Amino acid sequence: MSDQNPIKPADPDAWSTPQKILVLLAHPDDPEFFCGASLAKWARAGHEIIYFLMTCGDKGTSDRQLESQMLCTMRQDEQRTAASVIGVKDVRFLGYPDGYLVPDLALRKEITRIIRIIRPDIIITCDPTALYVGDTRLNHPDHRAAGQAVLDAVFPAARDHLNFIELWRDEGLEPHITREVWASVTNQPNVTLDVTSTWDIKIQALKEHKSQVRDPEGLEERMRQRLAPGSTPETPRYEESFRRLILG
């Protein structure tokens, strides 16, 4: 047997046509922290990416002088700048209050409406089953709520017209099957992407969340130390992992 010209399996994100990728997460900075290098890679490959963030992160400060509305405006601006670094022009906010997100039927309906309007090929969200992140952190309840509401909207609500029938009957929104869901912040990954080529872009985008990053140099240092297996000092490698579901 020769090992010349081995047939390599295609990368899981080697889509042959431009994809419409809908990012549905809880807070400004979630897209960049959770999967910013993958998003930057996809934007540079010509895929269309749209962010919908459920809150504006209006509780994320220890500054006693900063009121929620001011913080909300600040964080929306930071998110738009960070998204443009990633290569995303379309950033929208749903206006739910930070910290109080629950995966109720109202949120499921709102997300169902968005899915039927945007009609994405791929949805990026986070894994609602991840209660712990590593050995030192609890996952934010808004992250879990967002992930749960998104998965419940993908299936079955967006797919079947009798779910939230008013969306179809009164708003003319046809059902939609999202082909793939990629859940970030997961303890059960089944896909790992090499994102070495866009790791610097992720770091640059993270630094745009100025209200959240008190020590930009420290953040950069920590991010550079997050090396993937097989890295050497000369050739560092970086990865992002997901739970990927192929539904359609």
Stretch binding Zn ion (CB under 5 A), from 26-34, 41-49, 129-137, 193-201: 26-34
Q: Does residue 27 interact with Zn ion by CB under 5 A?
A: yes
Of the candidates 186, 55, 183, 181, the one whose C-alpha atom is nearest the C-alpha of residue 131 is 186
Contact in structure between 31 and 86 (CB atoms under 8 Å)? yes
Q: Six-digit token pair at 98?
A: 């930070």
CB of 228 to Zn ion, least distance (A): 23
Q: Which residue lies nearer to Zn ion by CB, 47 or 143?
A: 143
CB of 34 to Zn ion, least distance (A): 8
Q: Which residue lies nearer to Zn ion by CB, 19 or 212?
A: 212
Contact in structure between 190 and 217 (CB atoms under 8 Å)? no
Q: Does residue 30 interact with Zn ion by CB under 5 A?
A: yes
CA angle, 60 as apex, 228 and 149 as ends, to 5°?
75
List the interface residues with Zn ion, window 73-102 (CB under 5 A).
none
Contact in structure between 126 and 87 (CB atoms under 8 Å)? no
List the interface residues with Zn ion, window 98-157 (CB under 5 A).
none
Name the one residue in this structure whose structure tokens are 């969200």.
125
CB of 115 to Zn ion, least distance (A): 21
Q: Which residue lies nearer to Zn ion by CB, 27 or 75?
A: 27
Q: Tell me which H or E stretch contains 242.
A: strand 239-246
Position closest to Zn ion via CB:
27
State the residues that interact with Zn ion by CB under 5 A.
27, 30
